[in-house]
């Protein structure tokens, strides 16, 4: 069953340097109970897609297309209608725990806030519920954690608190935006285990956003590769890592440590003046003449959707 469907999403930002085409014609479906990973380099539009779903884009953004959740188009909803969905139905785990938590409020205040606002719970009941959640998330000493302030916690602990805040209302869709960024391997493993646990506990679906392919491989059922605001390949994670199809996907996997850190030559294109045709063609080792003129359409290859002339 489809829980969330993105149809032809386009997001542009008006800036002093010109119009930034951050997301271009992106479509995908998130099925009930599945984890879909969105991977790609910084600036490829991953977080913009997440923020479009949550409707928390800055005022200079223009959104076109549809974001369908339970037969409602989120793009068309007003602030009041969205406030019933944000946090309760769809929640976002932000990428920088040091900035995402308010430094002047205790963890207890911040983790119980969704319960007090959305469920109108009394503070004492909300605290009890928060303690119970932290216990289920294997937090050592939930009582101490509740009374602590963000500065008293390590980066990993703060990230785990953010996970707690975002799942306390049992949302149907969890969007995890780079939840393992900057963490060491031990904490990374811990956060991934926690995400798997909350997803199982709440039977939620997850959109997992990462520039790091390792956690995406560990946690996702399907994977979508973004480049310069467009999806270039989408399919089952197992198949993707066994045999990537798009030249950019191949390049990404070649740059992994186990392949000897072989970089993709060149840099991502300007999002204000992107190249004509396929946006990856200036860096592509397999480019043909047509690549600089025409952007290919998706074709089905080995059960995966790929946007490359090599397969058309």
Q: 5, 36, 54: which is closest to 205 by C-alpha?
A: 36
SS3 (DSSP) at 86: strand
Q: x/- contact string, 1-40, with other proteins (CB under 8 A)?
A: ----------------x-----------------------
The residue ranges of DSSP E strands in 193-272, in sequence order, are 205-210, 222-227, 230-236
| Beta carbon nearer to other proteins, 14 or 81 | 14
| Minimum CB distance to other proteins, residue 229 (Å) | 14
Minimum gap (Å) between residue 61 Cβ and other proteins: 17
Map the footprint of other proteins across residues 232-261, applying CB under 8 A.
251-252, 255-258, 260-261
> Cα separation of 299 and 150, whole Å?
48
Q: Which of 181, 217, 250, 287 binds other proteins (CB under 8 A)?
A: 181
With contact defined as beta carbons under 8 Å apart, do 163 and 195 qualify? yes
Cα separation values, 47 from 10, 114, 245, Å: 13, 23, 24
DSSP state of 125: H
Which is nearer to other proteins, 19 or 109 (by Cβ)?
A: 19
Binding mask 194-233 for other proteins (x = CB under 8 A): -----------------xxx--------------------
**70 is a site residue for other proteins (CB under 8 A):** no
Asked if residue 106 binds other proteins (CB under 8 A), the reply is no
Q: Which is nearer to other proteins, 139 or 280 (CB)?
A: 280
Q: Does 193 bind other proteins (CB under 8 A)?
A: no
- Using DSSP, state whether 26 is helix, strand or coil: strand
Q: Could you say which residues in the range 119-148 bind other proteins, by CB under 8 A?
A: none
Q: Measure the CA–CA gap between 139 and 128, rounded to whole angstroms.
A: 14
Beta strands in the chain (DSSP E): 2-15, 18-31, 35-39, 61-69, 72-73, 90-93, 173-177, 205-210, 222-227, 230-236, 299-301, 304-306
Q: Tell me which residues in 272-291 interact with other proteins (CB under 8 A).
A: none
Nearer residue to other proteins within complex by CB, 80 or 140? 140
What is the smallest separation between the CB atom of 259 and other proteins, expressed in angstroms? 9
Q: Rounded distance, CA 300 to CA 298, Å?
A: 7
Tell me how far, at minimum, the Cβ of 172 lies from other proteins, in Å.
Answer: 30
Pick 33 or 182: Cβ nearer other proteins: 182
CB of 261 to other proteins, least distance (A): 4
CA–CA separation, 127 and 6 (whole Å): 36
Looking up tokens 């025409």 gives 294
Given 65, 155, 189, 275, the residue binding other proteins (CB under 8 A): 155
Q: Copy the structure tokens of residue 175.
A: 């969007």
Interface residues with other proteins (CB under 8 A) are 17, 41-43, 154-156, 181-187, 211-213, 251-252, 255-258, 260-264, 267-268
């Amino acid at each position: 069953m489809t829980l969330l469907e993105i149809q032809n999403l386009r997001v542009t930002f008006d800036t002093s340097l010109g119009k930034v085409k951050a997301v271009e014609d992106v479509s995908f479906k998130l099925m009930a109970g599945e984890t879909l990973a969105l991977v790609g380099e910084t600036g490829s539009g991953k977080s913009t897609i997440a923020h479009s779903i949550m409707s928390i884009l800055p005022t200079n953004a223009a959104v076109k297309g549809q974001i369908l959740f339970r037969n409602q188009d989120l793009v068309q909803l007003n602030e009041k209608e969205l406030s019933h969905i944000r946090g309760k139905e769809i929640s976002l785990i932000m990428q920088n725990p040091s900035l995402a938590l308010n430094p002047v409020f205790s963890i207890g205040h911040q983790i119980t806030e969704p319960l007090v606002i959305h469920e109108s719970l009394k503070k004492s009941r909300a605290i009890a519920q928060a303690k119970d959640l932290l216990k289920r998330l294997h937090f050592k000493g939930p009582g101490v954690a509740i009374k602590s302030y963000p500065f008293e916690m390590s980066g990993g602990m703060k990230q785990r608190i953010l996970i707690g805040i975002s799942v306390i209302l049992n949302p149907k869709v969890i969007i995890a935006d780079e939840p393992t960024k900057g963490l060491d391997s031990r904490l990374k493993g811990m956060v991934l285990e926690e995400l798997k646990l909350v997803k199982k506990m709440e039977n939620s679906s997850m959109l997992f956003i990462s520039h790091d392919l390792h956690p995406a491989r560990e946690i996702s059922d399907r994977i979508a590769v973004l480049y310069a605001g467009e999806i270039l390949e989408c399919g089952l994670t197992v198949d993707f890592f066994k045999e990537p199809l798009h030249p950019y996907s191949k390049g990404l996997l070649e740059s992994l440590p186990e392949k000897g850190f072989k970089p993709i030559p060149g840099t991502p294109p300007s999002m204000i003046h992107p190249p004509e045709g396929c946006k990856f063609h200036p860096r592509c080792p397999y480019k043909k003449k047509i690549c600089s003129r025409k952007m290919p359409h998706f074709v089905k290859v080995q059960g995966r959707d790929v946007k490359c002339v090599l397969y058309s």
